[in-house]
Structure formats: structure tokens, C-alpha cells
Amino acid sequence: MTEFKENMTCEEFQAQLAELIGSGENISQHPHLQDCALCSAFLAELEAIAEAARQLFPVEEPPEEVWEHIEMAIQQEEESFDKG
């Protein structure tokens, strides 16, 4: 788990926000968010936007044939590489 720096300014926090979100950790307990209503609201808005985007473009798994074709192409490439 990442140690969160305490006593960050809003500017410092927001500069690191993408990295914090990308880490996959629950940043809602970040010390800065405990004391800063502005950044808490900003994060809530970002989360709402991200959820709306997920609803617009839901992740769909490709059909099984796609994975089979990929696997066959890899095997053919490996075979041609081994021969050449």
C-alpha cells in the first residue's frame, strides 16, 4: 500500500491525482481528502464522469473465435519462425 503524503496543497494533490487513481488503491482515505472539501468534490465529479463513460462504452468480451484465431496466428508465426 502506498504511503500518502500528508499536508499536501490542492495543487500538489491534483497534480498526483491521475497517478493515485491509476494505482488502483482506494484514495478516498487520502489525508488531503479528509480535510479538503474542494478536492473531495473534484474527485467525486471525476468518478461520476468515469462511471458515465463506462455506461456509454461498456466493455464487451470478444467472441471465443477471436481468441482462437489469435492463438492460431501466433502458432503459425512461431512455426514459420522456427523453420526460417
Tens of pLDDT, residues 17-58: 999 989 988 888 899 999 999 999 999 999 999 999 988 987
Rounded alpha-carbon distances, angstroms, from residue 6 to 3, 37, 39, 80: 9, 16, 14, 56
DSSP track, 21-84: HHTTS-GGG-HHHHH-HHHHHHHHHHHHHHHHHHHHS---PPPHHHHHHHHHHHHHHHHHHHH-
Domain boundaries along the sequence of the chain: 10-59
Band (74; pLDDT cuts 50, 70, 90): very high
Phi/psi of residue 27, nearest 5 degrees: -90, 0
